[in-house]
């Protein structure tokens, strides 16, 4: 008899477990599945036992999933998927149905929120899809049972006939974030040591990530809008301080990466939070992401005093004309000024960029390189543009170039989209040249040498994983060279 008050929450790996050792993103960064941990805490408050298996942190997890299902007999299994991990999620759902006949699977995350009815129409193994924020919707589904989904907002389900797929509509408003319990970090086996922030992106261990807001008020062409749409909500400064204190006292956390799209959007909150960190020190440091419009020198100095160690800014491209096609308030001179202010305040600076946006040319890539190399940036992340379902540009992407929609490779690590006038091979060449030129600059090299005393654990990780990084480099080279010459991946921090 299946237990209706139990659910297993799974974070799929997204590819074969034996490939995990050469996945550069895993070598450099394993982020805890904060959404699932938050969901588990919310369900637990309502008498529903939710356990978590994170296949990304522990890749060979099929036997763990099967063993848990047989031992605990949960009525539901929930899978949180990105586009690149969705197929693996479907495979796990089928595995669960074979191991425990009668179990119902529920998919959540950005991919199904964008696909909605299509997720069930194209994949018979999918029983339910939660659209948007999942806490209330999933709780209602588990409490009411799989046979009575009709009145639950935010749900896609089959109404009797396999072809009769219904979406109940978006939930009204959103959860007040201060009412949520802290994520159930204790349900993540090995936390915090099983997880690690990007290499050279922290001063001390143990460290972890934290989300203190939901949504973004801007409308960039390449960003997903399917979960939170255009809304923005954030935790209060008091809640945020209490969250960090909890992480310090319970798990010994010494550094936090705020995985928010816009940490500094609400200035009053940031100032109050910084004041609390200064008045009642926790001996913790933190990273965050910001937009140029929402920072100034006074705020930056206050944040530095509160423990801000690194700040990331979305530059995306150093070609103003290209950038104007894809985001609002394009002003590269202002952005450069704000980056210099960050450095003036003594905060490490990271630039977030993309290559291969629609409209990209050889000239725009050169201008991006010139722009970025003129700035006092300590580190940068150059992603390969990927048009994700749920982003505004996805709807007409085929008009702008050639797009090979291979979901398993939609991880910002592959050039699946090739803008008109470019080739995939040339994009790969320019991508590598961009990175090589960055790391060849003396001031950048010295900055990484300085990490010997600013982030000694990063250097230890780099040396321990050196063989893996070299394997990735060789694998990438072989992949690139094997492609036919005529052929035409919330939270980048």
Instruction: Write the pLDDT tens digit of every residue in 359-407.
Output: 999 999 999 999 999 999 999 899 999 999 989 999 999 999 999 999 9
In a shared domain, residues 233 and 283: yes
Instruction: Give start and end residues of each alpha helix (H) in 175-283.
Output: 237-251, 267-279
d(CA 92, CA 83): 15
Better-predicted residue by pLDDT, 487 or 216: 216
Residue 182 covered by a domain: no
Q: What is the per-residue pLDDT for 470?
A: 56
Per cent of the chain over pLDDT 90 is 80
- Structural tokens at position 346: 């003594």
Residue 428 covered by a domain: yes
What number of other Cβ atoms are within 10 A of residue 8's Cβ?
Answer: 24
Instruction: Write the pLDDT tens digit of every residue in 217-247.
Output: 887 889 877 766 667 899 999 999 999 999 9
Which of 126, 150, 167 terminates a domain? The answer is 167
Let me know: does 197 contact 234? Beta carbons within 8 Å.
no
In a shared domain, residues 95 and 146: yes
In a shared domain, residues 361 and 258: yes
d(CA 215, CA 228): 5
In a shared domain, residues 213 and 312: yes
Better-predicted residue by pLDDT, 474 or 139: 139
Instruction: Write the pLDDT tens digit of every residue in 29-56.
Output: 899 999 999 999 999 999 999 999 999 9
Q: Which residue has the tokens 């001063």?
A: 203
Beta bridge partners of 8: 51, 77
How many residues are recorded in the chain? 493
Residue 174 covered by a domain: no
In a shared domain, residues 445 and 388: yes
Residue 302 covered by a domain: yes
What CATH number does residue 121 fall under?
3.40.50.280
- Structural tokens at position 139: 């709780």
In a shared domain, residues 12 and 94: yes
d(CA 416, CA 404): 5
Residue 454 covered by a domain: no
In a shared domain, residues 405 and 270: yes
What is the pTM assigned to this prediction?
A: 0.92
Beta bridge partners of 51: 8
Vertex 235, ends 233 and 238: CA angle to 5°? 155
C-alpha closest to that of 411 among 345, 489, 354 = 489
C-alpha closest to that of 72 among 18, 3, 154, 159 = 3
Alpha-carbon distance values, 9 to 93, 105, 313, 360, 384 (Å)? 11, 10, 32, 40, 30
Of the CA atoms within 13 Å of residue 345, those in its CB half-sphere come to: 26
3-state secondary structure of 23: coil
> Which domain does 407 fall in, by range?
197-449
d(CA 357, CA 430): 13
Q: What is the per-residue pLDDT for 482?
A: 33
Alpha-carbon distance values, 214 to 74, 75, 357, 488 (Å)? 30, 29, 25, 37
In a shared domain, residues 269 and 389: yes
Q: What is the per-residue pLDDT for 480?
A: 34
d(CA 454, CA 100): 50
In a shared domain, residues 344 and 231: yes
d(CA 402, CA 426): 14
In a shared domain, residues 101 and 232: no
Better-predicted residue by pLDDT, 491 or 246: 246
Mean pLDDT value across the chain: 91
Instruction: Read off φ and ψ for residue 307, nearest 5 degrees.
Output: 120, 10
Residue 177 covered by a domain: no
Residue 475 covered by a domain: no
Q: What is the per-residue pLDDT for 376?
A: 94
d(CA 168, CA 159): 11
Q: Which residue has the tokens 């992949």?
A: 479
Residue 192 covered by a domain: no
Residues 295, 493, 413, 121, Cα dihedral to 10°:
-90
Return all residues near 201 (Cβ < 8 A) that are at least 6 apart.
257, 287, 310, 350, 379, 455, 458, 493
Mean pLDDT confidence for 9-28: 86
Let me know: does 80 contact 9? Beta carbons within 8 Å.
yes
Better-predicted residue by pLDDT, 203 or 16: 203
Of the CA atoms within 13 Å of residue 276, those in its CB half-sphere come to: 15
C-alpha closest to that of 174 among 227, 212, 133, 215 = 133
Better-predicted residue by pLDDT, 474 or 305: 305
Alpha-carbon distance values, 203 to 110, 136, 195, 198, 273 (Å)? 31, 37, 15, 11, 21
Q: What is the per-residue pLDDT for 468?
A: 57
Let me know: does 413 contact 25? Beta carbons within 8 Å.
yes
Per cent of the chain over pLDDT 70 is 93
Mean pLDDT confidence for 70-99: 97
Number of domains in the chain: 2
In a shared domain, residues 302 and 438: yes
In a shared domain, residues 335 and 226: yes
What CATH number does residue 346 fall under?
3.20.20.70
């Amino acid at each position: 008899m299946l237990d209706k008050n139990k659910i297993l929450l799974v974070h799929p790996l997204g590819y074969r477990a034996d490939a995990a050792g050469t996945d550069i993103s895993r070598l450099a960064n394993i982020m805890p599945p904060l959404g699932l941990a938050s969901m588990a805490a919310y369900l637990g408050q309502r008498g529903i036992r939710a356990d978590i298996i994170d296949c990304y942190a522990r890749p060979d997890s099929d036997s763990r999933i099967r063993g848990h299902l047989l031992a605990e007999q949960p009525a539901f299994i929930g899978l949180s998927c990105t586009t690149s991990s969705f197929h693996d999620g479907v495979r796990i759902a089928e595995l669960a149905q074979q191991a425990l006949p009668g179990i119902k699977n529920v998919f959540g995350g950005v991919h199904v929120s964008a696909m909605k009815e299509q997720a069930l129409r194209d994949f018979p193994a999918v029983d339910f899809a939660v659209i948007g924020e999942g806490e209330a919707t999933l709780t209602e589904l588990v409490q009411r049972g799989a046979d009575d989904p009709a009145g639950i907002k935010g749900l896609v389900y089959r109404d009797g006939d396999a072809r009769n797929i219904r979406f109940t509509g978006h939930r009204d408003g959103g959860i007040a974030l201060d009412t949520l319990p802290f994520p159930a970090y204790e349900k993540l086996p090995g936390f915090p040591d099983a997880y690690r922030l990007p290499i050279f992106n922290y001063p001390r261990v143990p460290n972890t990530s934290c989300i203190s807001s939901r949504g973004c008020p801007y409308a960039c062409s390449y960003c997903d809008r399917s979960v939170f749409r255009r809304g923005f909500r954030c935790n209060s400064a008091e809640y945020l301080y209490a969250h960090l204190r909890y992480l310090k006292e319970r798990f010994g956390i010494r550094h936090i990466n705020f995985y928010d799209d816009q940490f500094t959007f609400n200035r009053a909150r940031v100032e109050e939070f910084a004041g609390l960190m200064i008045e009642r020190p926790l001996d913790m440091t933190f990273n965050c992401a910001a937009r140029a419009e929402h920072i100034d020198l006074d705020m930056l100095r206050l944040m530095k005093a509160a423990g801000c160690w690194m700040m990331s800014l979305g530059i995306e491209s150093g070609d103003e004309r290209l950038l104007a096609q894809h985001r609002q308030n394009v002003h590269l001179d202002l952005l450069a000024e704000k980056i210099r202010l960050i450095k003036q305040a003594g905060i490490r600076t990271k630039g977030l960029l993309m290559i291969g946006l629609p409209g990209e040319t050889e000239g725009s890539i050169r201008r991006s390189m010139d722009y970025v190399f003129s700035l006092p940036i300590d580190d940068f992340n150059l992603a390969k543009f990927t048009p994700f379902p749920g982003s505004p540009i996805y709807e007409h992407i085929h008009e702008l170039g050639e797009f090979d929609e291979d979901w398993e490779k939609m991880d910002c690590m592959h050039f699946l989209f090739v803008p008109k006038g470019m080739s995939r091979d040339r994009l790969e060449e320019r991508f590598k040249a961009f990175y090589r030129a960055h790391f060849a600059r003396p001031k950048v090299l010295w900055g990484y040498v300085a990490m010997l005393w600013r982030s000694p654990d990063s250097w230890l990780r780099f040396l321990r994983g050196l063989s893996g990084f070299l394997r990735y480099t060789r694998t990438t080279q072989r992949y690139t060279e094997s492609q036919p010459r005529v052929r035409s991946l919330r939270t980048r921090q």
